[in-house]
Structure 1
Amino acid sequence: MLDNALRKAAAIWVAPDGHPAKLVWALWRDGAALVVTGGTEQRVDGLADGVPCTVTVRSPSTHSHLLTATATARLVTPDEDTALALRTARLNANPEWDSVHRLEFP
């Protein structure tokens, strides 16, 4: 169910331990959610390498709660293919970000 929900979600709520949840754009890729932050994208206080997070996914059509899961954030440097996928999937004309985190689910 997690895989299916995150595949369809364009945005997810991410709450790093000790911080409130923020709605962020996400891309499901290779079994993890990629989240871009900073620059022209949403800032997420407390999101850092190795930090546990609570991720909430809502239905894209009804906006009702679908699931809540625990993930660990990993700061990554996207390779060229991943950066292209992030830019292509993002609807902003010129998305810019300071960092990319890979949210890994146990």
Structure 2
Amino acid sequence: METAQVMDAALRKAAALWVAVPGRRGRLVWALWRDGSVWVAVGGDQEVPGLTDDQAVTITVRSPTTHSFLLETPATAHLVEPDEDTAAALRAARLNGPAAWTEVYRLDLP
């Protein structure tokens, strides 16, 4: 199964994945799969220390049902200003309460 299909299937069910910045441990974050990229809102209760614009990161996806490893892939983080539809989708993807973010990153896969 190709990377995009794994991302789409996994994030439809769980809306969470691990993001690791080089030299740091991965962080579990609420995420959104949209337009072929992973979108992550950070700030408040969801932080990815060291995440910056145009940075290489590693995304790890686990099965939402069995928690087994599904995929690990590199990506590039881009600091973006989401449009209204994407912002609404990010708020809906956050299952742990109201979204209070300071930055939104689009993680582009190779």
Shared fold (TM-score greater than 0.5)? yes
* Residue ranges of structure 1 left out of the alignment (5+ in a row): none
Candidates 8, 14, 21, aligned match of 1:16: 21
**When the two structures are superposed, what TM-score results if normalisation uses the length of structure 1?**
0.91
Name the residue aligned to 2:100.
96
Name the residue aligned to 1:27.
32
* Cα distance in 2 for residues equivalent to 1:86 and 1:65: 24
Letter in 1 for 2:20: A
Shift of 1:29: 0.3
Deviations 1:31-90 (A, max 9, x none): 000011112x31111111011001110011110001110000000011111111111232
Name the residue aligned to 2:47.
43
Residues 17 and 51 in structure 1, CA contact (< 8 A), matched pair in contact too: no
Name the residue aligned to 2:67.
63
- Please list, as runs of the form range in 1=range in 2, the aligned pairs for 1:77-96 lying within 5 A after superposition: 77-96=81-100
Where do 4+ consecutive residues of structure 1 move more than 2 Å?
88-93
Stretch moving more, 82-91 or 10-19: 82-91
Of all paired residues, the percent bearing the same amino acid is 54
Shift of 1:92: 3.5
Number of equivalenced pairs: 105
* Residue ranges of structure 2 left out of the alignment (5+ in a row): none
* Cα distance in 2 for residues equivalent to 1:35 and 1:21: 14
**When the two structures are superposed, what TM-score results if normalisation uses the length of structure 2?**
0.88
| CA root-mean-square deviation | 1.2
